[in-house]
A and B are shown apart, each in its own frame.
Chain A
Amino acid sequence: MNQPMKFGILINEGPFTHQASDSALRFAEAAIAKGHKIARVFFYNDGVNNANKLSEPQSDDRDLVSLWSELGKEHDIDLVVCIAAALRRGIKDEVLKDGFRISGLGQLVEAGIENDRLVVFGD
């Protein structure tokens, strides 16, 4: 097996229009299963919509907002929502799912600096 690494992930799309968030979630789960650490997921562009607790998918659909929240809590993943992108889209602390936090773009740069790999999911 490879040496454990720590990953940063950037998600640029919301939970429904594009597959990006689904792919990132599957990737994160697979990385964790292999003993790697997902240190931070940074949500940018429409990706900030992944943190909206008001999202209510139909009962037979996956609920990415909850899935990220649970994965984050279970594996101590820092789920960071970009403040500039979030404010534009009405994502504020009042609608933030637990496990997510709102912070600046510097957290994305830091994720690139401090992790072994940064993987971008978008469209």
Chain B
Amino acid sequence: MEPWEEDGPEVVKRFMYVNRKAPYGTIYALECLEVVLITAAFDQDTSVVFVDDGVYQLKKNQQTEGIGMKNFSNTYRALDDYDVEKIYVEQASLDARGLTADDLIIPVEVVTTENLREIMAQQDVVISS
């Protein structure tokens, strides 16, 4: 056995997905959501973070008929069904964009920058897109 072959697949790691991009203008938000839902199926300790323009992904009342693209914002509601309960939004990112938690399509934990620093420092795998 090679030295890198020691870990078995039964490991549970802390996965954090960092969303920093707005939806529709680019595909990153949609494809990141697809990974999050898959990760949850692997029974990992999954956290999802929305900072910077990523908070726009959760804006409620998205109506995409006029741009011909699929409105995937309702899919965020499925996070709860997949037992993804650690959903964090940075207060400063909301404030900078004139948004509040009431503007968001799902209930989230709004955290301070200091809280988020600590949460980010407790992960095993960080995936951003």
Interface of A with B (CB < 8 Å)?
A: 3-6, 10, 12, 36-37, 39, 44-45, 84-85, 104-106, 108-110, 112-116, 118, 120, 122
Interface positions, chain B 77-93, Cβ under 8 Å from A, are: none
Tell whether, in the assembled complex, residue A105 and residue B15 are in contact, meaning their CB atoms are under 8 Å apart. no
Distance, CA A3 to CA B4, complexed state (A): 10
A10-B127, A120-B127 are contacts. A104–B38 as well, Cβ < 8 Å?
Answer: yes
A-binding segment of B5-13, B48-56, B111-119: B5-13
Chain B residue nearest to A3 (CB atoms) is B3
Distance, CA A46 to CA B9, complexed state (A): 28
Tell whether, in the assembled complex, residue A113 and residue B42 are in contact, meaning their CB atoms are under 8 Å apart. yes
Q: Is the interface of A mostly helix, strand, loop or mixed?
A: mixed
Q: What residues of B have a CB within 8 angstroms of the CB of A104 in the complex?
A: 38
Interface positions, chain B 11-54, Cβ under 8 Å from A, are: 11, 13, 15, 27-28, 31, 34-35, 38-39, 41-42, 44
CB distance from A15 to the nearest CB of B (A): 17
Chain A residue nearest to B28 (CB atoms) is A45
Tell whether, in the assembled complex, residue A6 and residue B4 are in contact, meaning their CB atoms are under 8 Å apart. yes
Distance, CA A116 to CA B124, complexed state (A): 9
Distance, CA A46 to CA B101, complexed state (A): 32
Interface of B with A (CB < 8 Å)?
A: 2-5, 7, 9, 11, 13, 15, 27-28, 31, 34-35, 38-39, 41-42, 44, 124-129
Q: What residues of A have a CB within 8 angstroms of the CB of B2 in the complex?
A: 4, 37
Tell whether, in the assembled complex, residue B35 and residue A105 are in contact, meaning their CB atoms are under 8 Å apart. yes
Among candidates A39, A44, A109, residue contacting B39 with C-beta atoms closer than 8 Å: A109
Q: What residues of B have a CB within 8 angstroms of the CB of A122 in the complex?
A: 128-129
- A-B contacts, 28 of them at CB < 8 A, read A5-B4, A6-B5, A12-B28, A37-B2, A44-B31, A44-B129, A45-B27, A45-B31, A45-B129, A105-B35, A105-B38, A106-B41, A106-B42, A108-B38, A109-B15, A109-B39, A109-B44, A110-B9, A112-B125, A112-B127, A113-B11, A113-B13, A113-B125, A114-B9, A114-B11, A115-B4, A120-B128, A122-B129
Chain B residue nearest to A85 (CB atoms) is B31
With A12-B129, A114-B9, A120-B127 already in contact, 11 other A-B pairs whose C-beta atoms are closer than 8 Å: A3-B3, A5-B4, A37-B2, A44-B129, A105-B38, A109-B42, A112-B44, A113-B13, A113-B44, A114-B7, A120-B126
